[in-house]
Amino acid sequence: MSDYTVREFIQKTKRDTRDKDAFDLQTDRILEVNLTSSLWAKIGSMISYTGDIKFTREGVFEHGVSKMLKKSFTSEGEDLMKAEGRGTLFLADDGKKITILELENDQITINGNDILAFEPTIEWDIKLMRKLAGAMSGGLFNIELEGYGKVAMTTHYEPLTLIVEPGKPVMTDPGATVAWSTNLKPEFRTDVSVKTFLGRGSGESIQMEFEGDGFVIVQSKEE
């Protein structure tokens, strides 16, 4: 590791103040948001801000009774916070890599724990995977997003996108699965045996199977 004088370190790590989009990356693990109205973000993700910004926790009825009931019976993702006002907001999540997606009337499903922030123009809903295998994997609930606007998602290290083609299903580990195109409806494959419960199985007893026409995004570390 190189040594720096204080002046050199400041010069190397100081904020890039050039004009940016509403969502931009200061580093691959720090998101800069140029806030002019509001956005939704993962609670606890704010690391710094300037300007006049107010933070409020997601209200019980903030998104309607349906979403409230789903959240009441799930542990999906983290609670959201609303950031409102004008200023510059910096967000991060446990040092994970951040990717900004621009939705242009697209639909994408993202693991709730992997959503960092999204613009209020995007519609979203919680979706429940009603499979016993899903409950065992700990990956029951996900967030469907659609419409127009920016979404920031996080991954452990670099994400990998796998293309799903008709007749060529793709299997993934639920803990490594980050997101997929919403038109795909994953099923769970199980290979549960006595050895699995005794700790002598392969460790890959539950997989998600994606079949159809779309994509699935995975990360290199299981959650």
202: in domain: yes
Q: What is the C-alpha to C-alpha distance for residues 83 and 39, in angstroms, rounded to an integer?
A: 6
102: in domain: yes
Which long-range CB contacts under 8 A does 58-64 form with residues at least 24 apart? 58/82, 63/124
107: in domain: yes
pLDDT digits (tens, 9 = 90+) for 129-163: 655 444 454 445 788 999 999 999 999 999 999 99
134: in domain: yes
Residues 6+ apart with CB under 8 A from 137: 174, 175, 188, 206
**CATH number for the domain that contains residue 81:** 3.60.160.10
Q: What is the C-alpha to C-alpha distance for residues 93 and 177, in angstroms, rounded to an integer?
A: 17
148: in domain: yes
151: in domain: yes
29: in domain: yes
For tokens 């009603």, what's the residue? 130
- Structural domain count, the chain: 1
Q: What is the C-alpha to C-alpha distance for residues 190 and 2, in angstroms, rounded to an integer?
A: 49
pLDDT digits (tens, 9 = 90+) for 15-42: 888 777 889 999 999 999 999 999 999 9
223: in domain: no
Structural domain containing residue 184:
19-218
